[in-house]
Structure 1
Amino acid sequence: MTVLASALDIRSDDYAAHRSALLGKLTALDGEHAKALNGGGEKYVQRHRKRGKLLARERIELLLDPDTPFLELSPLAAWGSDYAVGASLVTGIGVVEGVECLITANDPTVRGGASNPWSLKKALRANEIAFANRLPCISLVESGGADLPSQKEIFIPGGGIFRDITRLSAAGIPTVAVVFGNSTAGGAYIPGMSDHVIMVKEKAKVFLGGPPLVKMATGEESDDESLGGAEMHARTSGLADYFAHDEQDAIRQARRVVARLNHRKAYGDPALAEPPKYDPEELLGIVPEDLKVPFDPREVIARIVDGSDFDEFKPLYGSSLVTGWASLHGYPVGILANAQGVLFSEESQKAAQFIQLANQRDIPLLFLHNTTGYMVGKEYEQGGIIKHGSMMINAVSNSRVPHLSVLMGASYGAGHYGMCGRAYDPRFLFAWPSAKSAVMGPQQLAGVLSIVARQSSAAKGLPYDEEADAGLRAMVEQQIETESLPMFLSGRLYDDGVIDPRDTRTVLGICLSAIHTAPYEGARGGFGVFRM
């Protein structure tokens, strides 16, 4: 039998401590998510409602099929910056008329929906996801354009938004723009370049230059409606394909547009899936708060895969990396999960072979991170850890099957790369609140700096200031600890969201379904040179 047996003792003190620590982190995470949900604050929310308008997430809710999930992406974008959490933009994956779509919605309660540098990064990431997975894009538009004080960070890279819309269309991926309010200046090109455009009567305003700019540039007197109103664009310019009487009508028409797209998934429905044998609630007590303490990733796998059924590959070789085959919501997956944190030569070679096998079989890969990196030391350097670690990274880099990554615990150093970190283009990457990611652990990094400084003083024949060293180490440890936390990293869009561990199976199921909208084929060769 290949059903995993669980050794997790949910009555133990350790389990209770781990669960309590993670629940505390989830409470803090909920508080940060609440900031994004609050938009620009009560004052601006009420002002928006008095104008008879729906909020961004209310528009999305009406757009989606009833009782279907919405996987919000990058909800903590801009966390820790000078901009509002969420970056005045909502993005995510949802089902509209039975079609999985990538949805973006400006939040006009945050500085009129103006785009800042983090909004731009978030929008570009959403376009990447849509393109890789062939998801139709629906843009719910109401934005004042660029946040002008930050234009130096927006103007040059911001052109990528319009490039992406045209490339999506050229690839046969439908694009739909629903304009509820302002879409002016550069923002006018969003409906201008979309395949289908819906505008709301007396609300939509789409023009390259508003009345004041036209007056200054040409001396011409004009008003919003004649210059860029929905009725003008529907009757005269032809920019609007559909004229909506109100927001609800616009959303109804958007749903009808999607219903007529004839957009089909590349793959049929997955096999029927049996739920895991173990309660996902127990995922809260598996990862220790102290990430130096190892945990068995099989306990996680048993609570996310179908029927807790897992065929382990090379279980007696390279035991600090667990590899094997399973299915998740009916989709086949190959899983690589760190066990004891450190990756040795055996684990690296095992991973490279496993990744090649997944490519031979066209099976997506799921990476579950808890690694401090590749092993260091004279014995391991002489044993070839560099070339073996490079072999694993080579395999990850050139693999062509879709990759999914979840950071559960530590994800440090080149181990982050070998386990398909953000730079290696996983289709989706999520983190648990327990995760940390950096070049190395805070104590190790501070210690390295201390050793270098100590050696420098000795080389110059100078006495070493132990008090200053202690202060430096404390400062560096605090800085690295802060910068390795998931909310900090998510704020910079180094992941697609920090998720509740109990939601892992659902989140991965939505992602796997999205992945199977686009055809893919594993590499049958084409890997770089493996240094043996």
Structure 2
Amino acid sequence: MSALDVGGAEFAERAAAMTARLAELAAAHAEALAGGGPKYVNRHRARGKLPARERIELLLDPDTPFLELSPLAGWGSDYTTGASLVTGIGVVEGTECVVTANDPTVRGGSSNPWTLKKALRANEVAFANRLPVVSLVESGGADLPSQKDIFIPGGALFRDLTRLSAAGIPTVAVVFGNSTAGGAYIPGMSDHVIMVKERAKVFLGGPPLVKMATGEDSDDESLGGADMHARVSGLADHFALDEPDALRIARRVVARLNVRKAGPGPRPDPAPPLFDPADLLGIVPGDLRTPFDPREVIVRIADGSEFDEFKPLYGPSLATGWAEVHGYPVGILANAQGVLFSAESQKAAQFIQLANQRDIPLLFLHNTTGYMVGRQYEQGGIIKHGAMMINAVSNSRVPHISVLMGASYGAGHYGMCGRAFEPRFLFSWPSAKSAVMGPSQLAGVLSIVARQSAAARGLPYDEEADAGLRAAVEQQIEAESLPMFLSGRLYDDGVIDPRDTRTVLGLCLSAVHGAPVEGARGGFGVFRM
């Protein structure tokens, strides 16, 4: 079932390269974990307050996993990695919830453009999978220097809270500190609100603004303190004595939500894979132009390493078939040789329809350079066949999960359910790359176009300048194709260690079954045959 030579030199070389990338990833994650740095973390603790991740840890059931989402948001930008917000999925009193927690050690927990994108993505996850939302609030509001990028789109946060509530998806706000101005509407629009004594401050305008606007003298407590909101305004449903008490109350609130999953449960006692997940470190080559067999990945993530392949002899550059992961059935589409031809596209479209007929979620394992080009393939209908696959992906209604293992270029990224096609979750391995096309191909195209333009005008072509241009473009596209760059812009939900893939998929599959799992029974639009 596996032909991988784990004792060979090639495996060792690939594993060493992956390990080096994982070290880079760990350094980036360390930036997010550090928050605002020792000075501000120590100041926060000195005030008797817990850091964001410790609040989450007290909220969640003991010894249960937390699937953090978008941990590298803002990486490579002018803002702190992590974007002053922690988001993810965890279990509270046996109920899977989306949890968001402001990190007040980063500029007081204020929101920058990446914070907003990250929060909106968390709400998307909650809505699509019908997961309750628990917001651990302590924020100074918008990061004012970047308000132009926050104010207009920021209203979507309020819209999301009201729509979640209207859809019967519970929302809980636990206020530990400031929740001012627009931030006051977070508890204002949540179904359940808990405030911490002498710490929570919730008001549309603080004492200085009130003084300027009305001439009235006021103080924090009478204007927006937890005691006032619990006794006078009624905004607080629960009055907590301190942070641990607030988190205890939050757990009891979630316990009484009466949440039931709408999707079917997993098969009990799933068998683990027969092959060591650690082997996943040595499968992807350093040069993504070198093909690898995705079946070696599948047998290391699937229950019992069982994979029933569909059409194995037809369109062999795309492996399709049925498996289970942590007891949940999945249909898998995995790129085998990188390029998608007409046969692969047609096979994919049929397979996606079958999954929708059977209400089975789909898992896309990416390693594609895109759809095949050239006269023979254009005449053979590659456009209409690629469009058929993209049509099927676009109109499929079962949950989709994507994992970028290697290359994910061009329209192949779309056909394999890239971010624009709204997979429920999308994760990347450190070996992944994604762009319009490979760096050398893109630089070469620009060179050819420039050369043709010079010839058309009768001008000599500067070969030295061309070489410099190609090198610069290749370097730029290479940097912009890397997973940490893309993850920093929230084009995925996180970069994961390949060895954790089965665990991450299990958590995602459990989450997607919070909502009904129902496929399309038609409505795929017109397939050009």
User: TM-score, normalised to structure 1's length?
Assistant: 0.99
* Per-residue CA distance 1:305-361 (angstroms, 9 max, x = gap): 000001000000000000000000000000000000000000000000000000000
Question: Counterpart of 1:386?
Answer: 383
Question: Counterpart of 2:19?
Answer: 23
Tell me the distance in 1 between the aligned counterparts of 2:23 and 2:330. Answer: 31
Question: Counterpart of 1:308?
Answer: 305
By how many angstroms is 1:528 displaced? 1.2
Tell me the distance in 2 between the aligned counterparts of 1:344 and 1:422. Answer: 22
Question: Counterpart of 1:51?
Answer: 47
Tell me the distance in 2 between the aligned counterparts of 1:360 and 1:231. Answer: 55
Q: Secondary structure at the match of 1:60?
A: helix
Aligned with 1:490 (options 480, 483, 487): 487
Q: Secondary structure at the match of 2:505?
A: helix
Question: Counterpart of 2:457?
Answer: 460
Q: Secondary structure at the match of 2:272?
A: coil
Tell me the distance in 2 between the aligned counterparts of 1:261 and 1:365. Answer: 30
Q: Secondary structure at the match of 2:64?
A: coil
Q: Secondary structure at the match of 1:303?
A: coil
Tell me the distance in 1 between the aligned counterparts of 2:9 and 2:457. Answer: 52
Instruction: Tell me, yes or no, if structure 1 residue 297 matches structure 2 residue 290.
Output: no
User: TM-score, normalised to structure 2's length?
Assistant: 1.00
Tell me the distance in 2 between the aligned counterparts of 1:473 and 1:317. Answer: 38
Code of the aligned partner of 1:493? L
Code of the aligned partner of 1:464? Y
Tell me the distance in 2 between the aligned counterparts of 1:472 and 1:168. Answer: 50
Asked if the contact 2:361/2:517 (under 8 Å) is kept, the reply is no
Instruction: Tell me, yes or no, if structure 1 residue 93 matches structure 2 residue 93.
Output: no
CA RMSD, 1 decimal:
0.4
By how many angstroms is 1:267 displaced? 3.2
Output aligned runs, 1:322-471, within 5 Å. Answer: 322-471=319-468
Q: Secondary structure at the match of 1:239?
A: coil
Output aligned runs, 1:64-143, within 5 Å. Answer: 64-143=60-139
Instruction: Tell me, yes or no, if structure 1 residue 233 matches structure 2 residue 233.
Output: no
Tell me the distance in 2 between the aligned counterparts of 1:499 and 1:270. Answer: 24
Q: Secondary structure at the match of 1:443?
A: helix
Q: Secondary structure at the match of 1:499?
A: coil
Code of the aligned partner of 1:367? F
Tell me the distance in 1 between the aligned counterparts of 2:517 and 2:160. Answer: 21
Question: Counterpart of 2:162?
Answer: 166
Tell me the distance in 2 between the aligned counterparts of 1:262 and 1:525. Answer: 34
Question: CA, structure 1 residues 496+231, in 2 after alignment: closer, same or farther (shift >3 Å)?
Answer: same
Question: Counterpart of 2:528?
Answer: 531
Instruction: Tell me, yes or no, if structure 1 residue 267 matches structure 2 residue 263.
Output: yes
By how many angstroms is 1:150 displaced? 0.3
* Per-residue CA distance 1:69-121 (angstroms, 9 max, x = gap): 00000000001100000000000000000000000000000000000000000
By how many angstroms is 1:520 displaced? 2.8
Code of the aligned partner of 2:35? G
* Per-residue CA distance 1:218-248 (angstroms, 9 max, x = gap): 0000000000000000000000000000000
Q: Which segments of 5 or more consecutive residues in structure 2 lack a partner in the other structure?
A: none
Code of the aligned partner of 2:352? I
Tell me the distance in 2 between the aligned counterparts of 1:134 and 1:357. Answer: 25
**Fraction of identical pairs, as percent:** 83
Question: Counterpart of 1:38?
Answer: 34
Tell me the distance in 1 between the aligned counterparts of 2:83 and 2:182. Answer: 18
Code of the aligned partner of 1:458? A
By how many angstroms is 1:201 displaced? 0.2
Tell me the distance in 1 between the aligned counterparts of 2:318 and 2:379. Answer: 21
Q: Secondary structure at the match of 1:322?
A: strand
Tell me the distance in 1 between the aligned counterparts of 2:353 and 2:255. Answer: 39
Q: Secondary structure at the match of 1:326?
A: strand
Tell me the distance in 2 between the aligned counterparts of 1:527 and 1:32. Answer: 41
Q: Secondary structure at the match of 1:409?
A: strand
Aligned with 2:145 (options 132, 143, 149): 149
Output aligned runs, 1:234-249, within 5 Å. Answer: 234-249=230-245
Q: Secondary structure at the match of 1:122?
A: helix
Q: Secondary structure at the match of 1:178?
A: strand
Asked if the contact 2:265/2:513 (under 8 Å) is kept, the reply is no
Code of the aligned partner of 1:411? S
Tell me the distance in 2 between the aligned counterparts of 1:337 and 1:131. Answer: 28
Tell me the distance in 1 between the aligned counterparts of 2:251 and 2:428. Answer: 32
Tell me the distance in 2 between the aligned counterparts of 1:377 and 1:199. Answer: 64
Tell me the distance in 2 between the aligned counterparts of 1:225 and 1:483. Answer: 48
Tell me the distance in 2 between the aligned counterparts of 1:192 and 1:220. Answer: 23
By how many angstroms is 1:399 displaced? 0.3
Code of the aligned partner of 2:180? T
Code of the aligned partner of 1:190? I
Q: Secondary structure at the match of 1:27?
A: helix
Question: Counterpart of 1:283?
Answer: 280
Q: Which segments of 5 or more consecutive residues in structure 1 lack a partner in the other structure?
A: none
Aligned with 2:503 (options 502, 506, 528): 506
Q: Secondary structure at the match of 1:278?
A: coil
Code of the aligned partner of 1:259? A
Tell me the distance in 2 between the aligned counterparts of 1:40 and 1:92. Answer: 20
* Per-residue CA distance 1:105-150 (angstroms, 9 max, x = gap): 0000000000000000000000000000000000000000000000
Q: Secondary structure at the match of 1:90?
A: strand
Code of the aligned partner of 1:168? L
Structure 1 runs of 4+ with >6 Å offset: none
Code of the aligned partner of 2:411? A
By how many angstroms is 1:269 displaced? 3.0
Code of the aligned partner of 2:204? L
